[in-house]
Amino acid sequence: MAIHELFAYLRVDDADKAIEFYRAAFDATEKFRLVEPSGRVGHAELDFNGKTLMLSDEFPEYGMRGPNASGSGAVTLHLHVDDADAILQRAIDAGAKLEMAAQDHFYGERSGSVLDPFGHRWSIGHSIEQLTPEEMQRRYTELLQQ
């Protein structure tokens, strides 16, 4: 078995607004969309600088709901960027809610998180140092023993 790619696929309560938000917050570009006669987006693909995010409107008649409708936000999307502070601010300016301000972490990354207007959590970070898994574990253990 060969896995060639893995795509995140989001359900949102207003795909048109979500696409506009992802454009404004993360400079995503729309590759294409498929629209029902009713206007509901059945499938859209956005390009995040060479990485694809798929999304659609909710389809409650098939049990497909976004996190706002279902009350569940168990998934976090992580964007690894050049400047986490700048992208976090851009997302906030576009309508996201700050969950955790950017800060330096033991695992060698500066990151923070926002909740987008559609209920999806985005962790946004950039590298501040390169660490081995062993060093990350040592720091993690030390942190938890405090």
pLDDT of 72 = 67
Cα–Cα distance measured from residue 83 to residue 78, given in angstroms and rounded to the nearest whole number: 13
The 10s digit of each residue's pLDDT in 31-77 is 999 999 999 999 999 999 999 999 999 999 988 888 888 776 768 89
The 10s digit of each residue's pLDDT in 69-103 is 877 676 889 999 999 999 999 999 999 999 999 99
pTM for the full predicted model = 0.84
Measure the CA dihedral 78/121/47/60, to 10°: 140
Which residue segments constitute the domains of the chain, with CATH numbers given? 8-144 (3.10.180.10)
Q: Are strands 51-57 and 8-12 parallel, antiparallel or unpaired?
A: parallel
**CA angle, corner 82, sides to 81 and 86, nearest 5?**
90
Measure the CA dihedral 18/60/71/34, to 10°: -20
